[in-house]
Amino acid sequence: MHKARGFSLLEVNLALAILALGLSAMMSSYLSVAQKIQFSQQQQEAHLLLYQLVQVLPLYPEQLAWLASQSPVSGQPASASACWQGKHCNEQQMLAAWWQYWQVSVSQVLPEGELHLACSFSCNTGGKLSLQIRWHGPAQTMAACGDWHCSIFQWPL
């Protein structure tokens, strides 16, 4: 008679260890891909908002110096909200309404997102307008602006 032979405890433990290593490698890879997808989506949102800014800001060349002098996350002036209600607004009030709209949009779609505008040299002809959207993204993705992830657009005035 033949003795029934099964797996020894050592063989079972070895098989479980190999399975655990394989599953942990797969999970690590999955998390890495998920973070890269999240970061790509955040970059896409930032670029879309920058595109909107580039379409509207050139319509207000005389107000750019005023806008650059405002604090980066200033509150919405009461006159800016009137612009969205169809009331008469001057160009500065309309630009303030747009700026507030973009600030809110950035903070809603990007974690701790901020929008910054600056003029190099001057906001007149010969200077450069710099737009920066920055946010806190996945920690494993290298940040481009210190501790922040960012998208920057510059164009000559």
Query: SS3 letters for 28-79?
Result: HHHHHHHHHHHHHHHHHHHHHHHHHHHHHHHHCHHHHHHHHHCCCCCCCCHH
Q: How far apart are CA 30 and CA 83, in angstroms?
A: 47
Q: Residue 74: its pLDDT value, please?
A: 46
Look at residue 2 in the predicted model and tell me its pLDDT. Answer: 65
Cβ atoms 109, 136 nearer than 8 A: no
Digits of tens for pLDDT over the chain (157 positions)?
666 677 788 888 999 999 999 998 888 888 888 888 988 999 999 999 999 988 888 888 888 888 888 755 444 445 567 788 888 888 888 888 888 889 999 999 998 899 988 887 677 777 788 889 999 877 777 777 888 888 888 888 7
CB 121 within 8 A of CB 127: yes
Calpha distance 124→153 (Å, rounded): 17
CA-to-CA dists, residue 42 to 11, 14, 88, 113, 136, angstroms: 47, 42, 35, 10, 10
Q: Report the number of secondary-structure helices (H) and strands (E) in the chain.
A: 4, 3
pTM to 2 decimals? 0.71
